[in-house]
Amino acid sequence: MSILEKILGRDEDARRDTPAKPDMMMGKVLDTLAGLGGKPIETLSPQEARLQPTPTDAVKQILRETLKDEDPTLGIQTRDITIEGAAGPLQARIYSPNLASDDLKPLVVYFHGGGFVIADLDVYDGGPRGISRFADVVVLSVHYRQAPENKFPAAHDDAIAAYKWALANAQTIGGDPRKVAVMGESAGGNLAINVSIAARDQGLQAPAHQVLVYPLVGNDMTTESYVENAAAKPLNKPMMEWFVKHTFNDQSETADPRINVVGAADLRGLPSSTVITAEIDPLRTEGETLAEKLEAAGVDVRAKTFSGSTHEFFGMGLVVPDAAAAQTFAAHDLKKAFGTAILPI
């Protein structure tokens, strides 16, 4: 068993006979989400799917009911802006501990999830907000073009364009252009690592660090975690098949190294990495495999799988303890990479 396998807490002989159960607060989020009356996304059109209740809506409902005194902003200020993408303007949001300050802070370029088809800056607000708070950084959250209106590789082209924009304009949003990292959740984790690969291959300034949260980095839907979590919530195998159908021009594109990162991409020379995965998630195995392959390629990597947590948990720090722990885990590594004060862990 490798060092990473020990860190990840994986037993090479273990196979689950029954599906893992979510922790108490994770379960409360899932129950609340079910109570909001959403329909299975795989039965809907993309336009209909974008209007369905989200885990973020469930978290907001719990906050309204039980944590009325909690500050959902975490003291972080935000400002919406427009940046230049690969084929036109993109919506983006700045998160900062203090937008009025003249002091430059490290900058994290963040890409949200949604299978390249659904979700937006509002749905994925909790993650960048928590990272801005705990890592004491400016976060630029980018809303890239989505499929099926803009199929693969439109989102990837936008992600690279957004990173270039951030390097050129960091100071205008309070960021230090010498200290720029990338981060993403799910499909956004895929975009983040592809930005790092593109920076290496195109001779751009390398990200100082990359944080990959339950990244979509493979094309194999027969992995251990896909089998275990085929019917999981909020992400399951039918949903992933639906995302694939709407994202790609044909199935063969899933073999592209930008999608099948763990099977086809060259991972040598990438920045130090944090890989966070959730136990109850079809994408867990490919995320854990990515961490192992990054290590094998000589990349400094720290990885952790959070037991009892599901896909989408990372942004739920106000109600799910493991989400707050995951944000702190990532913030620690960002601060280390940026050379700022390191949080205790």
Q: In whole angstroms, how far apart are CA 317 and each of 76, 111, 129, 312? A: 14, 18, 10, 11
Q: Is the peptide bond before 22 cis (omega within 30 degrees of 0)?
A: no
C-alpha–C-alpha distance, residues 248 and 243, integer Å: 9
Decide if 322 is catalytic.
Answer: no
C-alpha–C-alpha distance, residues 119 and 91, integer Å: 13
C-alpha–C-alpha distance, residues 78 and 299, integer Å: 33
Decide if 186 is catalytic.
Answer: yes
C-alpha–C-alpha distance, residues 213 and 224, integer Å: 18
CA-wise closest residue to 323 among 169, 186, 166, 127: 127
CB 34: neighbour CB atoms within 10 A? 13
Residue among 141, 311, 322, 333 flagged as catalytic:
311
Instruction: For 19, list phi and psi in degrees, rounded to 5.
Output: -60, 145
C-alpha–C-alpha distance, residues 252 and 324, integer Å: 38
Residue among 281, 322, 332, 333 flagged as catalytic:
281
Decide if 281 is catalytic.
Answer: yes
C-alpha–C-alpha distance, residues 30 and 53, integer Å: 11
Residue among 132, 186, 225, 309 flagged as catalytic:
186
> Which residues are known catalytic residues?
186, 281, 311
